[in-house]
Amino acid sequence: MTEHRLDPAPGTVTDVFDPALPPVAALDPGDTLTVRTLDCAGHLERQLVPGERRPKLIEDSRGHCLAGPVLVRGAEPGMTLAVRLDALRPDAWGWTSAAGRDTPLNRRLGLAGTETASLLWDLDADRGTGTDQHGHTIALAPFLGVIGMPPPEPGAHSTIPPRGHGGGNIDCRELVASATLFLPVTVPGALLCVGDGHAAQGDGEVSGTAVECGMTTRLTVDLVTDPPVPGIHALTPAGRVTFGFDADLNEASAQALAAMTDWLAALHGLPRASALALASSTVHLRVTQIANRTWGVHALLPHGAIR
């Protein structure tokens, strides 16, 4: 096992997924990478007042400011990339914004075109708390919103929507330290990109942003040839997780539940219908995020739910 380090600089970040981008680092399966990422906007300096514009690493960014791409030697389509999140430490500040943008949800809430509301957070990673300018204090549960690989099709692809194979902007609050995310490999070498640190987020990421922050993450990569389910899934401190992504909430929900049903059937030697019946009393179906043009839904089977 080899330890690697990656810090944000003009030559180590991207704002798109693109299979033609040259890798900025190369890892072998089993290697560990400590990577520092800026917040999703790529801020180089702390905001002094909520919503203040500060210098960015990529001034005219097309998407999230991500570290990568990182090549994983031996990764090929048909394999699964395992990304174990060993540790995540948020920077000392973060921000959340709401309203203003013309989105379907903001229109439904009567907030499209209104003035953007911003919270500026002081983050204490040692105590695990964040406090905004109004004095509200919350518990931190840091994770990376974006962990993914480019689609195989040539060209630049947006970092905004999550995708059912390479992953990307999944925004799942269960992917905290000690979780392992399993992603079907989309391109030779994987070309993994990570970033979009969230110090805390509720299921749904309902305003469109979480507590956006810089993050220092220690992760370990590996390759899997025989995963328990074929799509994106995870082993997390809370339990087993499967995912669905689609413009239709019903389809996203069905994808997540179908994968979890298959996992339950394999774990307990059950017919699929019986596995679905067991899921009805043990599995939590949650809206992962509503912010990214594509609905995200995850199914969670808590540890110890079935004995």
Residue 104 is predicted with a pLDDT of: 86
pLDDT score of 100 more than 90: no
Q: Round to whole Å and give the CA distance between 117 and 33.
A: 36
pLDDT in tens, 235-266: 999 999 999 999 999 999 999 999 999 999 99
The pTM assigned to this predicted structure is 0.96
Residues β-bridged to residue 289 = 204, 296
CA distances from 33 to 13, 86, 134 (A): 15, 10, 37
pLDDT score of 292 more than 90: no
* Mean confidence (pLDDT) of the chain: 96
Per-residue pLDDT, averaged over 130-154, amounts to 98
Could you give the domains of the chain?
3-224 (2.60.120.580), 233-302 (3.10.28.20)
pLDDT in tens, 156-213: 999 999 999 899 999 999 999 999 999 999 999 999 999 999 999 999 999 999 999 9
